[in-house]
Structure 1
Amino acid sequence: MAGTPIKLGSVLSFCIVLYAVYYRKNDIGDVRLYPMREQLLILESQNQVGSGNFQPKVALGYGACHDIFVNATLLLNHRDLKGEPEHFSEIKSKEELVKSFAYFFKHGAAAERFVSNSKLYDDIVERALKLEGSRWSIGGNAPLMAKRFYMEGWKVLLAGKMSSKLKSYIPKEIKIVGADANEKVKDDIHMILEYKADETFGGLKASRANRYIIHNDLNNPLLSSLERFDEHLPQFNPDLLVISDLRADRLKLVKKQILSQPLETLVHFEMASYVDLELLLHLESKVLPYVDSVGMNEQELTNLHNLLLYGNVSYVADSNPRVATALDQMRKTFQMIRLKNKEHNSNRKVTRIHVHTLAYQAILTVKDSNWKRTAAATAKASLTAHRYVCNAPTISLEKSKLLLDDSFATTTENDNNSRVFLEPTKPVACWDETLDGDKVEICVAPVLICTEAQLTAGAGDNISAAGLVLQIQK
């Protein structure tokens, strides 16, 4: 890596950090929280999206589903865990389900798995609906991101086949395309098994709040809304095209749809918990070389990094990686996708990567590209993480904590000679680097982590959308 600056901060900032450490040790509370919240809110308020004739437009595909939210440790019995927790790429039996859940639970890692046994899945759904606290909502990357864009003032076109009941969860101002007028649609159902930090499952203890998702999809794997979406895109003429919820068998059509967009329409790909190596290899050749931006969490970053560098899949990753580790993986992923751009003679080059973790947001953008206001976008992503997980519009300091230390290394490669001090009055740290001849800006913002999590599934979609909201210049 070239061009990483040494950012040691001022003597005054260093004194503030020492002051904060002293008071935290005396249990008066983390004094960094208040100034950080205020400065993040100022950055957000100073950067609003346009409206009217200047209202940005986003098109999102493909797919939607019903989500059932349920308490994981109420639904599953730890006594059914026979032997050690174990990873499975596909769930065929109750024993595999319990082992797979326990495998990710003990790491506090998010995961999503296909249940190929339809009767098993139907039985689990029936049992889940009888549990106290279970609830319905709309699911799928595209619909959740669509709702966030709409909330933030964008004009939205959404591709997805869904029933009238499922459409009722979507604001009426969002245009939905996918099903024929009189077509009866049976919605896919995803089950969100949620758990909180420090919750136990037998002898296992979760290191953080997270979720384990299972499904038995029929519509989404077919990307059945793709053709209808294709018909509406030219007239809609979006500023941004977001693609997610992808499956291997129709990626040629997805590639064709991306290639048909004018270069002025920026294309963002939202990663998911893909573990099928064949699908990932298809994504590597048919999607990644043709997008401008990629968004992902820490698990998905490690998975994509390992795929591009080693050609294999990472089933679980550190649920709270060091900033330096994540930034090194971001840089390498950026460079490897750039190689894919050249290998496939793509007219597009990746110019943006957003990684969202429990503790921080990190956005890398190429300088002088079409992506603007990176610092403000990083701040907005951080604030959205707290608001969504707490399910509240305000940032409550009583329900907040910081996991980031007072400084962090920007890379693991130079013996901590390059550190950024986390200044409470300037919480978004940005600096310039040069990667393979490209000048890039990297911004990192701490997350005021919600300590009373109300929602976990869908957090990444809302955070990614919030990060994109401010980066289109309008």
Structure 2
Amino acid sequence: MASGSVKLGTILSFCVVFYAMYYRKNELGDVRLSSVKDHLLFLENDNRVGMGSLQPRVALGYGACQDLFVNATSLLDYRDLKGNPEHFNEITSMEEFLKSFAYFFKHGAAAERFMSNSELYDQLVAKAIDLDDTKWAIGGNAPLMARRFFTEGWKVLLAAKMSDKLKGELPQGINIVGVDMNEHVRDDVHMILEYKADAQFGVYKAPRANRYIMHNDENNPLLSSLEKLGENLHNFNPHLLVISGLQMMDNFPFKQNGKDLRAERLDLVKEQILSLPEHTLAHFEMASYVDLELLLHLTTKVLPYVDSVGMNEQELSNLNSVLEQGKVVVVADSNPRIATALDQMRSVFRLIRHKNKQHGSKRQLTRIHVHTLAYQAILTVKNSDWKRTEAAAAKASLTAYRYVCDSKNIELERAKLLLDDSFSTTTDNDNNSRVFFEPTKPVACWNEVLEGEDVEFCVAPVLICTEAQLTAGAGDNISAAGLVLQVEL
């Protein structure tokens, strides 16, 4: 009996110690979360813009659509998947659709693809509409970013061809151009196939919440609102021009009579940027591209002429690969180490700076913003026109939570941090390059020299929403929120 009592006592003691350690760990975690939240909010509140009589002005192009949000695993049946997941640049059949969806789903990677089969696309839209949890919303990079800028107190000029009904989903104060008088517009529809973290699609499990976007656009690939923006741009006199939506040109049949109409349209985008005074900043919002020819066009017709680029971790890896090796990266790590992302940001900065010189551009890249599930990373050239980098990273982090949770308030019971207390700033020398996060100073900033320029890096942890309500459009809202605080009037 004595031996049994000793064993029982040992087990009880172990349980008490384990419970105390577990409770202490969770208590410290809650304190850290609370401290990070408070100091991110302080940085945001202490750096407001657009509150006085002088409103900052932003012009955005190109395009808009209706987003049809649908539960991916309700619309698609895993039992219809024949064969292994596979990547396709363009979707022509249901078999390709299922293989493509499964390919990105198992990686938890965002994707956007063009379906050339219009009949099949219409059938899928009709099927999605019949599902109980399907909902409609305005979509497109430019409209979502425009709404965020407007909410933050900016004057907004939006170039997008959209119906009066779709216009009604945007705040009335946004100036929308792109449609001729009495012109009837049929809105392009994008299907947003959303899934949550740990969702199952047959044998595959999603490592994180994300979305797969499918479209069959008619207006957006043509950048049909480009000329209308040009007609209104100079009278509006923006502080910032945002170029977005160019991914809609992926795999669209632009070659006609030996002419590359896509290249011609992108030349007009370039001319639109060049028509603006140099003090008007230009930002390019990256997206999910798979057409190498289009990406190569961007490296010669758009990227050498912008001041800023924004993107997520997948798009960063793809852009770096295209600039460095001329190759497309279809899927990358959905939650990369900070050191890996920072190294890729440095590489992209150097490569685009070389493009600036190669093309004789009067503009130079001075800002890169990368947003991931776990952190925000912003690089800016010191003494450039970009200000308040630390506060911008904080605001982007808070916006990520608010948008994904669909809540104005940051609720700690629905938040978590993925980042540890420290990180390496490069993969080259982990031992001598560590930066420590402090809960009372959660945005880590430091200076480096790149391409002969003094640059500042700021990294902010994201209070991740654990109950995702929205995924599509998160990047647009996050990028816009970061830009909001960085433009100096």
Q: State the TM bucket, normalised to the shorter chain.
A: over 0.9
1:425 to 432, 440, 453: 440
Per the alignment, residue 79 of structure 1 pairs with: 79
Q: Deviations over 1:309-355 (max 9, x none)?
A: 01000000000000000000000000000000000000000000000
Match of 1:415 in 2: 430
Contact 1:24 1:30 in 2 (8 A): no
What residue ranges of structure 1 are gaps of 5+ in the alignment? 1-21
Give a deviation string over 1:174-202, Cα, whole Å, max 9, x none: 00000101100011000000000000000
- Deviation, 1:441, is 0.1
In the alignment, which residue of structure 1 is the partner of 2:47?
A: 47
Quick one: distance in 1 between partners of 2:89 and 2:139?
A: 21
Cα deviation, residue 24, structure 1: 7.3
Q: Match of 2:319, as an amino acid? A: L
SS of 1:416's equivalent in the other structure is helix
Could you report, residue by residue, the CA deviation over 1:259-313 in whole angstroms, capped at 9, with x for unpaired residues?
Answer: 1010010000000101110110000100000000000000000000000001000
Q: Percent identity?
A: 71
Q: Give 1:16-415 correspondences, 5 Å limit.
A: 26-28=25-27, 29-246=29-246, 247=249, 248-249=262-263, 250-415=265-430
Q: Note closer, same or farther for the CA distance 1:24–1:164 as it changes in structure 2 (3 Å cut).
A: farther
Q: Distance in 1 between matches of 2:204 and 2:81?
A: 11
CA contact (8 A) 1:270 1:294 kept: yes
Residues 23 and 31, structure 1, Cα contact 8 Å, conserved in 2: no
Shift of the 30–52 alpha-carbon distance from structure 1 to 2, 3 Å rule, reads closer
Tell me the number of residue pairs that the alignment of Structure 1 and Structure 2 aligns: 454
Q: Using the alignment, how far apart are the partners of 2:109 and 2:88 within structure 1?
A: 15
What amino acid sits opposite 1:203 in the alignment? V
Report deviation, 1:50. Answer: 2.6
| Aligned-partner Cα distance in 2 for 1:53–1:463 | 25
Quote how far apart the aligned CAs of 1:258 are.
0.5
State the Cα distance separating 1:52 from its structure 2 match: 4.8
Q: Equivalent residue of 1:308, what SS?
A: helix
RMSD: 1.2
Residue 466 (structure 2) aligns with: 451
Task: Find the aligned partners of 1:337 and 1:220 in 2 and give their Cα distance.
Answer: 26
Q: Distance in 1 between matches of 2:84 and 2:26?
A: 39
Q: Give how far 1:415 is off.
A: 3.1
Q: Partner letter of residue 391 of structure 1?
A: D
Aligned counterparts of 1:32 and 1:23: Cα–Cα separation in 2: 15
Q: Distance in 2 between matches of 1:27 and 1:266?
A: 45
Give 1:25 shift.
Answer: 6.8
3-state SS, counterpart of residue 133 of structure 2? coil
Runs of 5+ consecutive residues of structure 2 not aligned to the other structure: 1-20, 250-261
Contact 2:55 2:155 in 1 (8 A): yes
Secondary structure of the residue that 1:31 maps to in structure 2? helix
Partner SS for 1:32: helix
Shift of 1:54: 1.4
Hey, what's the Cα distance between the residues in 2 that align with 1:360 and 1:27?
Answer: 21
Q: CA deviation at 1:414?
A: 1.0
* Alignment partners' CA distance in 1, 2:31 and 2:322: 41
When normalised by structure 2's length, the TM-score is 0.92
In the alignment, the residues of structure 1 paired with residue 36 and residue 26 of structure 2 have an alpha-carbon distance, to the nearest angstrom, of: 19
SS, match of residue 143 in structure 1: helix
TM-score, length basis structure 1 = 0.94
Q: Which has the higher relative contact order, 1 or 2, with Cα contacts under 8 A spaced 6 or more apart?
A: 1
Take 2:22 and 2:229, find their aligned partners in 1: how far apart are those partners? Answer: 55
Which segments of structure 1 move beyond 3 Å, counting only runs of 4 or more? 22-30
